[in-house]
Amino acid sequence: MTETLENGRKARILSVLDEFTRECLTIDVGRRITAQDVIDVLRYLFLIRGEPAYIRSDNGPEFTAKKVKKWLTAMGVQTLFIEPGSPWENGYMESFNGHFRDEKLDRELFVSIEELRYVCDKWRLDYNNHRPHQSLDYMTPAMFATTIAAHGSGALPPCPRNLSHDGSEHHIKEAGQSKLADAPIIATCSGCIPAEPYPCCDSDTIPHKQDQCNMPDKVKLEI
């Protein structure tokens, strides 16, 4: 999506939606959205929630770039590109973007990109925590997520752009010692926040119990 600031400059908006829980996982705002920005956002989400089976997106150059495809292949995630000129194939995201623009973007005049980031993330939190969905048995996306995972959802930091390209500084503790998790990582329970600590940089892995999560085997994200 594109939004025009008060000074006439354009800002790009990247939203990521979980098709199963209907949660908006992040809304990233920048002067432009590059292939590296897409990788940074997805790396952060994969670290927090695990890798989905598929990612559905349109055919924008930031999504179809060879760099993004290669990285997703390495992560074991398949891509689902919609047909050009067929936005209905990405229905959840198109519906979300429509509500987002009607309820917030078209009603505000943004002085700066920082203000746009703040307003977008505030709306995202409201959407996740205060908007019941009929398809979720009239629960909010965050409430629905808590019924299928051990941890709550809907509180991801708004700006994953600041992550290092080589890895994240996510410290975990194992046997009383702090370790640095290396992103991106492989999570065994796709689409939800792992109940166990993340695998570490060394060759040791931390087992997960698949039956602790009631998420379906294949989860899709939309961007």
Q: How far apart are CA 163 and CA 169, in angstroms?
A: 8
Helices then strands (H, E): number in the chain? 6, 8
190 domain residue, yes or no: no
Q: Where are the beta strands (DSSP E) in the chain?
A: 2-4, 10-18, 24-30, 54-57, 78-81, 170-174, 177-181, 220-222
Residue 15 β-bridge partners: 27
Could you give the number of structural domains in the chain?
1
- Inside any domain, residue 65: yes
In a domain, 91, yes or no: yes
Which pLDDT tens digit goes with each residue over 70-127?
Answer: 999 999 999 999 888 888 888 889 999 999 999 999 999 999 999 999 999 999 999 9
Q: pTM, whole model, 2 decimals?
A: 0.65
At 141 the pLDDT is: 94
In terms of residue numbers, what domain contains 35? 2-165+218-222
Burial class (CB in 10 A: 0-12, 13-18, 19+), 74: exposed
Q: Residue 85 belongs to a domain with what CATH number?
A: 3.30.420.10
Neighbours of 153 (CB within 10 A): 23
Domain-located, residue 57: yes
Tell whether 213 is covered by a domain: no
| pLDDT value of position 169 | 38
196 occurs within a structural domain: no
**Per-residue confidence (pLDDT) for residue 88, from 0 to 100:** 86
What pLDDT score does 219 carry?
A: 60
126 within domain boundaries: yes
Which pLDDT value is given to residue 193? 34
44/219 Cα distance (integer angstroms): 17
Residues 6+ apart with CB under 8 A from 116: 3, 5, 11, 13, 29, 110
pLDDT of residue 3: 93
52 inside domain: yes
Residues in the chain, pLDDT under 70: 150-220, 222
